[in-house]
Amino acid sequence: MRTLLPLFLLLLLLLPPAAAAGRVAGPGLEERLFQQVRDHFSFEACGNETFPQRYLVSAKFWKKGFGPIFFYTGNEGDIWTFAQNSDFIFELAEEQQALVIFAEHRYYGKSLPFGLESTQLKKTHLLTVEQALADYAVLITELKQQYGAADCPVIAFGGSYGGMLSAYMRMKYPNVVAGALAASAPLLSVAGLGDPTQFFRDVTADFQKSSPGCVTAVRKAFQQIKDLCLSGAYDEISRKMATCNKISNKEDVYQLFGFARNAFTMMAMMDYPYKTDFMGHLPANPVKVGCEQILAHRDPIQGLAALVGVFYNSSGSAQCYDIYRLYQSCADPTGCGIGSDAEAWDYQVCTEINLTFNSNNVTDMFPEMPFTEAMREQYCQSKWRVRPRARWLQTNFWGGDLKSASNIIFSNGDLDPWAGGGINSSLSPSLIALTVKGGAHHLDLRGRNPADPPSVTEVRKLEASIINGWVKSAGTERARERRSGASMGGRL
C-alpha cells in the first residue's frame, strides 16, 4: 500500500521551504508547524518533549467561525504530495465554505520526532497508528481554538493508509471528528483478515481486463526467465531485461522478479484515465499502455522490460535498470519505496500493519514469491528488532466488526487491487460503501477531469451530499446543546 516515492519525488523533499511552498497544490495553502507532543501516552521523558509537526492550511473558501473543517489525515509521505493530488477536497470546500487542513504524519516528510535520526533503531518506538491519531486529535483541538472555530464540525478525509486513519479518527475520536471519508482504505487486509493471494490476483485481473493476451505474454516472460535461470544463462537475462549490473545468481533473479512485480502493482493502482505524476510519471491508462508494450515485442522478456519501463523509465532516457536501487524489498510485498519515508513505512508494516500478501503463479501471473507470517517475523526481528503483532489491528481498531461506528464513507474503485481488502458493502445507514466503476486507487479524491468515468462523478456527488448532511446534523446538535445548557443555567 505504500505510497511509493520514486526518485523525482524524493528530490522534491530536498527543496528549500520556499520552493516547496511554491508547488502546485490546492488554492491558498500555507505551510505551518505545530509543536506536537512526542509521546501522548507517557507523562515522563518523551511525554514532556515536543517536535515540529508540519501541516498545510487554506482558509480561502472558509466562512469564518461557521463553515466546517475538512481535515486530511496524512499518510506515509510528504504532505504536499497528498495535497497536490486531492483536489476534490478543495472543490468541496468551495461548495461548503470549509477550512482545509492537511496534516503530516509523524516520522514522514519533515515531521520527524527525532530529526534525521528518527528511523534509527531505538528512535522508532513512537511511530504507531495510535500516536499519529493522537497527533491529529490534538492538532484539530488546538487549531479550532486558534481559528475561533469551536462550533465548526470536522470531517476527516484520507486515501489508502490515510483513508484508514480517517476512519480510525471517527472511531477513536468521535468527539473530535463528525464524519470521515475513507477512500481506498484496506481496513480488513491490514488487520490480517482476508485472502493473502487477493492482492496480486486482482493486479493480474486488471491486466487481464485490459487485454487477455497481456497476461499470457507476462506469464511466458517470467517462465522464460526462470528457465534461463535454471540453465545458468544469466547474461541473456541481463541483456534482455536491460539491467545495469549483470544478473549472476538466483538471488539476483528473485530481486528482478520483485522489481518487475512492483511495476505491475503501481500501474494497477495508478490506472487513471489521464496522465499523472502522483507516484511516478505515468501516462493515461498505464495498464493498457503496458500491455501494448509487451504485446508489441516478439521476445517476451524484452517485452516485459518494455512494460516495466512504463513505470521505471517514463522519460525513455534510462539506458538500463538498476534493480537494487529502484526497488528495495521490505515487509510490504506491494513495495515500500526508497528513502527515509520508506524506512518509516517498513517499520510500521513490521509492527501493527499486516501485509502478508504473496504471489503464487496460479491465481496470478507472477512468479511464486511467498511471504508468510514466519517470514515477516524473521525479517522484522532482523531489521528492526521487533516482533509483529499480527492481529493487533483486529483488537484495537475492531477488524471487520465496525457496526458500532457511524458516519463513515468507504469508497473503492473496482480497478484498485486494494479494494478487495476494504469495506465494499454498506454496514448501516451511516456506514456507507461506494464503488467507483472504472476507478483506480482513491480516484474520487482527485479533482474533476474531462476523462473521468461517469461513476466517479456520481460518487463524488453522493459523498458531497452525505458530508453536507453530517455537517448540518452536527450544527443542529451543537445548537441543541447550547439551548439545553442555557435552560439548565442556575440549576443544581
Catalytic-role residue among 40, 329, 332, 441? 441
Q: Which residues of 147-176 are buried (b: 16+ CB within 10 A; e: fewer)?
A: bebeebbbbbbbbbbbbbbbbbbbbbbeeb
Verify whether residue 297 is a known catalytic residue: no
Question: What is the strand order of the sheet 69-73 is part of?
Answer: 30-37, 50-58, 99-103, 69-73, 154-159, 179-183, 408-413, 431-436
The string of DSSP codes covering 429-489 is TTEEEEEETT--TTGGGSPP-TT--HHHHHHHHHHHHHHHHHHHHHHHHHHHHHHHHHHTT
Contacts 24+ apart (CB under 8 A), 218-222: 218/264, 218/294, 218/304, 218/307, 218/365, 219/361, 219/365, 220/300, 221/294, 221/300, 221/301, 221/303, 221/304, 222/257, 222/260, 222/304, 222/361, 222/365, 222/366, 222/367
Report d(CA 407, CA 467) in Å as an integer: 9
430 given a catalytic annotation: no
Location of C-alpha cell 522478479: 257
Catalytic residue among 111, 160, 238, 340: 160
Q: Is 402 helix (H, G, I), strand (E, B) or coil?
A: coil
Q: Which residues lie below 8 Å from residue 316, measured CB to CB, with a gap of 6+? A: 309
| φ and ψ of 428, to 5 deg | -170, 175
Active site residue 416: yes
Q: One of 135, 271, 416, 452 is an active-site residue; which one? A: 416
Q: CA-CA distance, 348 to 366, in Å (whole number)?
A: 26
Backbone angles phi, psi at 29, to 5 degrees: -70, 135
- Residue 169: closest CA among 75, 42, 96, 82: 75
Catalytic positions: 160, 416, 441
